[in-house]
Amino acid sequence: MRGPGKGKTNNPNGRAKGSQNRTTKEAKEFLEYVMFGQLENMQMALNELKSKDNARYLDACSKLFSYVLPKKTDVTSDDKPIIPSLPVITIKQYKNGD
């Protein structure tokens, strides 16, 4: 057993909620370092993808956005993701005006 044991540490409240353990923090820092070195390659790949297939380019961009843009949450719903309340219509309904 490592350390003084459960309930016998210098911090009886434990690690603060949301704080990362050392391994997770170091792994994230390493991946950030690796990815920073790939920015030029990623830009070239995205440019090539855009020239070949616009839909796949937009799909790739939308997936990357989730890593840099926070997800919107409704402050009145205890930070649960907002569920859009727009009605879904089909193309047939749209053409018929229904």
Residue 57 lies in a domain: yes
Compute the CA torsion angle 92, 93, 96, 98 (nearest 10 deg). 170
DSSP designation for 53: -
Would you report the helix, strand and coil content of the chain in percent, each value rounded to 5?
Answer: 50, 0, 45
- Number of domains into which the chain is organized: 1
pLDDT in tens, 82-92: 666 666 666 66
Other CB atoms within 10 A of residue 46 CB: 14
- Is 79 inside any structural domain? no
Residue 81 forms part of a structural domain: no
CA distance 42 to 35: 9
In which domain, by residue range, is 70 found?
21-74
Is 61 inside a domain boundary?
Answer: yes
Segment 34-58 mean pLDDT: 93
**Residue 92 carries which side chain, given as an amino acid letter?**
K
Q: What is the mean predicted confidence (pLDDT) over 32-52?
A: 92
Residue 14's pLDDT band (cuts 50, 70, 90): confident
